[in-house]
Amino acid sequence: MKSLVEVKDLALGYEGKEVFSHLNFQIEERDFIVVLGPNGSGKSTLVKGLLKLLKPMSGEIIYHLSQNRLGYMPQVTKVDAHFPATVFEVVLSGAINRLGKRAFFHREEKALALESLSLLGIEDLKNCAFSELSGGQKQKVLLARALCATRELLILDEPSNNLDLKSKAEFYELIQKLNKEKHIAIMLITHDEHGKETLGNKELVFEDDQVIFRRRENHV
């Protein structure tokens, strides 16, 4: 499988203090990597590094993504729930990295936003106010927004947070389908028991001063 991202001997941290070091792993095409670990262990720090919001203290991250595009879905709690925009506007904003020097979205980006909505079966929400959606619907809209950025690699930050069991199961089914049928590589950061047991072909586990990367044996 082609490598999408190579993390080599990476150390990340804040103000000269390392959160983790000597981290090595690769994200390959079609991978579904589950990232696990207790609060404060460094999961979000890794995500910040992958999104280039935090510079490596040592080591490097090498990207083999087309036009360096990465899809990121933030935690709903980190998104302003009262954001005064329609679903379509929120999804379209995911295509901002495709604009280059243009200030306005073209027909292609708008078509991509519609296609992302329809891929997730939520085209009927298009004109709804984002702030009025349920938690599960908001997650799907943010996933459609990430799909507008790229179909190569999505990083999902605790997507099951604050969802009821039914919405959670539905959401996991959806991302599994994107991975298996559309061959989108996924990195899922989760605390969730469901994710711990059943999802992913590989896992990255942050525990007691070490980070372990391994293949999951129970992968279906």
Ligand X SMILES: Nc1ncnc2c1ncn2[C@@H]1O[C@H](COP(=O)(O)OP(=O)(O)OP(=O)(O)O)[C@@H](O)[C@H]1O
By CB under 6 A, name the binding residues for ligand X: 14, 19, 37, 39-45
**Cβ-based nearer residue to ligand X, 42 or 200:** 42
Q: How far is the CB of 165 from ligand X (least distance, A)?
A: 21
CB-CB contact of 207 with 41 (8 Å): yes
CA neighbours closer than 13 Å in the CB half-sphere of residue 75: 13
Largest CA distance in the chain: 50
Residues 6+ apart with CB under 8 A from 103: none
Q: How far is the CB of 91 from ligand X (least distance, A)?
A: 25
Q: How far is the CB of 67 from ligand X (least distance, A)?
A: 27
Beta bridge partners of 156: 73, 188
Secondary structure letter of residue 219 according to DSSP: -
**Cβ-based nearer residue to ligand X, 42 or 159:** 42
39 Rama class: left (phi>0) / alpha (psi -120 to 50) / beta: beta
**Residue the block writes with tokens 């943010």:** 142
**Cβ-based nearer residue to ligand X, 78 or 180:** 78
**Cβ-based nearer residue to ligand X, 39 or 67:** 39
Q: How far is the CB of 14 from ligand X (least distance, A)?
A: 3
